[in-house]
Amino acid sequence: MNILVVGSVAYDTVKTPFGQAEDVLGGSASYFSVAASFFTSVRLVAAVGEDFRAEDRAVLERRKIDLSGLCTEKGKTFRWSGKYGYNLNEAHTLVTALNVFEHFQPRLPDSYRDSELVFLANIDPDLQRQVLEQVKDPKLVALDTMNFWIDSKLDSLRRTLSKINLLMINDGEARQLSGEVNLVRTAQRIFEWGPSTLVVKRGEYGVLMFTREATFAAPAYPLESVLDPTGAGDSFAGGFMGYLANSGNFGESSIRQAIIMGSVMASFNVEAFSLDRLSKLSYREIEDRYRAMKRLTHFEDL
C-alpha cells in the first residue's frame, strides 16, 4: 500500500549540547517520508519557497519520494529554530516562521487521490483537513501535532481529530490536549473525540500505545551517542506507517511490530543532525537493529 503525507518541509536551525546546525533540511514531512520510503512508496504534499535548494530536493528524490505535490511558492521556506538542554526529550522552540505555509492552499494531484494510508504530519490542522478531504477512500489516517497548534488552533485540531483513526503525539502534548495528567485517562478522553488508537511518544523512554482493548509499551533503543533528537517523532511515524503499509495488515500484532520499526527508524535519526543518518541508511542496518530491538524486549517465563 502507498502512503500520502502532508506536513512541513523546512529549514531548521538547531542547537544541542553536542553541536549545532544552521538552515539544514528538516520538517515533519521530510523526516517522515525519508523514513517511510524504506518500506513503501510515499507521496508528499507540502510547500517550499524559492530559496529551497536543489541539493535538498535531491535528498528526497534519491529516496524515490513522489514530489508531484511539493509546490514551490513565492516567498521563503518554512523555518524552525530550536534548542535542547541535556534533557533531549524537550525541544525549546526559538523561532517558528510559517512563511509559504501562511497562505498555502493544498490541491492534491489527481494521482494522489487514491492514497491508501494518510499521515497528517505536524502542520496547521486546517491544512491537514483540506488534504484529507481530497483523498477518496483512505484505509488508515494518522495524525501528529504539537503545542504550537494546540495553543493556536485547538478548535480546528479537534475537527480534524474527529476524522482520523490514530493519533500519534508526545506525552506532554497528549496531556495538554486532553487536559488529563494520567495517560490512561488521556487515551479514554481522546477516544471520545474520534481516534481509536493513541500512540504516545516519550522520547528516550520509548512509546506507549493504547486501544480500547489493549496497551503496548516499547522502549527506545539504547544508544551510546545521541546528537540531535529533532525529527525523532516523525522518523518514528515514518517507520511505523511504512511498516503497516508494507504489511497491508492493521491488526494488533502488526501494529506492535510497526511500533518496533518506528523505534528503529527514530533511533537512527537521532545519531546525526538533519537527515544525514536517515538518508544514507541501508536496509541491512534497519534489519539488524530491528533484530536487536527484538532481543532487547524479549523475556521468557520461568
Angle between helical axes of 252-269 and 283-297 (0-180°, round to 10): 120
Within 8 A by CB and 6+ apart from 198, the residues are 166, 167, 169, 174, 186, 187, 190, 191, 209, 210, 211
**Contact flag: residue 75 with ligand AMP (CB under 6 A):** no
Name the nearest CA neighbour of 146 among 166, 167, 118: 167
Exposed, middle or buried: residue 252 (CB in 10 Å: 0-12, 13-18, 19+)? middle
Q: Which is nearer to ligand AMP, 2 or 147 (CB)?
A: 147
Cα separation, 231 vs 106, whole angstroms: 23
One character per residue 125-164, x = contact with ligand AMP (rule: CB under 6 A) = ---------------------x-x----------------
Nearest residue by C-beta to ligand AMP?
Answer: 26
Which residue, 259, 172, 246, 243, is CA-closest to 211?
A: 259
Nearer to ligand AMP, 66 or 234 (CB): 234
Q: Which is nearer to ligand AMP, 27 or 195 (CB)?
A: 27
**Could you say which of 3, 26, 129, 241 contacts ligand AMP (CB under 6 A)?**
26
State in angstroms the smallest separation of the CB of 23 from ligand AMP.
11
- Which of the stretches 7-15, 171-179, 214-222, 285-293 binds ligand AMP when contact is defined by CB under 6 A? 7-15
Q: CA distances (Å), 164 to each of 26, 128, 132, 193, 251, in order?
A: 25, 11, 9, 10, 17
Region of 24-32, 48-56, 255-263, 290-298 interacting with ligand AMP (CB under 6 A): 24-32
- 10: contact with ligand AMP by CB under 6 A: yes
Q: Which of 4, 117, 42 is nearest to 278 (CA)?
A: 42
Integer angstrom CA distances of residue 247 from 40, 121, 170, 258 = 10, 21, 25, 9
Who's near 103: CB < 8 A, 6+ residues apart? 73
For ligand AMP, the binding residue among 13, 16, 28, 247 (CB under 6 A) is 28
Nearer to ligand AMP, 106 or 247 (CB): 106
Which residues neighbour 182 within 8 Å (Cβ) at sequence distance 6 or greater?
none
- Taking the complex as a whole, the smallest distance from the CB of residue 219 to ligand AMP amounts, in Å, to 18
Q: What is the dihedral of CA 289, 291, 297, 302, to 10 degrees?
A: -150
Per-residue binding letters, 77-106, with ligand AMP (x by CB under 6 A): ---x---------------x----------
**Chosen residue from 3, 5, 8, 157 binding ligand AMP by CB under 6 A:** 8
Q: Which residues in the 219-278 window bind ligand AMP by CB under 6 A? A: 230-234
Tell me the number of residues near ligand AMP by CB under 6 A.
Answer: 17
d(C-alpha 278, C-alpha 104), whole Å: 28
Q: Does 27 bind ligand AMP (CB under 6 A)?
A: yes
User: Binding mask 180-209 vs ligand AMP (x if CB under 6 A, - otherwise)?
Assistant: ------------------------------
Which CB atom, from 80 or from 104, has the smaller least distance to ligand AMP? Answer: 80
- Residue pair 43/69 in contact by the 8 Å Cβ criterion: yes
- Binding residues (CB under 6 A) for ligand AMP: these are 8, 10, 12, 26-28, 80, 96, 122-123, 146, 148, 230-234
